[in-house]
Amino acid sequence: MVRVAGSTGRWGGVLRVWVAVLVLAVGSFCGAARADDATPDWVQRLCNSVGETMYGFAWPTATYHGWSFAGLAPASDAGVDLAVRLDGESGWDGSYLYTFVILTVDANGIRNLRWGRNNGTFAPGATVRIMANAVADLERQYEASQTQDSSSPRLIPN
């Protein structure tokens, strides 16, 4: 069973599927060490598809360019941290933009998914959170205006 800490709600299931695919693809082919000519085409396509989705979660206005395997390290409690670097270009000023995605994996599956080091002005995922909060605020304002309109008396002209 794939478990991703902190992924609940409607996006949690989608995120878990993409993370599982990413771990399987990168973990199976970590000997290739990076996306180069030695990596089979289908692996590159799969990893680019997953990488582009994750990069879109990180910065929706940025353009994804590629991924590279960044390494394995022991996790603090009997797991392994798998790091993947996602590279691209800022949608604001065209500058180079990267982030690391770190997956903590153990015998029970994926325990954690987190953003690692990056060079963005905003933390990965901050833009998505800001947009989601703005939409939720607009929805609350609309519901309040509808409640207010229905409770006020209506005058019918003669």
Dihedral in degrees, nearest 10, Cα atoms 63, 68, 72, 76: -10
Residues 130, 106: Cα–Cα separation, whole Å: 32
pLDDT tens across 132-155, in order?
899 999 999 998 888 766 655 555
pLDDT tens across 65-87, in order?
998 888 888 887 778 898 999 99
pLDDT at 99: 93
Q: Which of 97, 136, 132, 139 is nearest to 115 (CA)?
A: 97
Of the spans 20-29, 74-83, 89-98, 99-108, which averages the highest pLDDT? 89-98
pLDDT at 157: 60
Q: Is the pLDDT of residue 14 over 80?
A: no
Which residue reads 């180069």 in tokens? 36
* 38 CB-near residues (< 8 Å, 6+ apart): 32
Q: What is the DSSP letter of 35?
A: S
Question: CB pairs under 8 A, 24+ apart, for 27-31?
Answer: 27/82, 27/105, 30/69, 30/72, 30/82
Provide φ and ψ at 130, rounded to 5°. Answer: -60, -45
pLDDT tens across 24-40, in order?
555 555 444 444 556 67
Residues 35, 111: Cα–Cα separation, whole Å: 25
Q: Do residues 41 and 25 make contact, with C-beta atoms less than 8 angstroms apart?
A: no
pTM exceeds cut of 0.85: no
* Among the ranges given (36-45, 61-70, 102-111), the one the predictor scored with the smallest mean pLDDT: 36-45
Percent share of the chain, pLDDT over 90: 20
Q: What share of the chain is helix, strand, coil (3-state, %, to 5)?
A: 40, 25, 30
Domain boundaries, the chain: 10-151
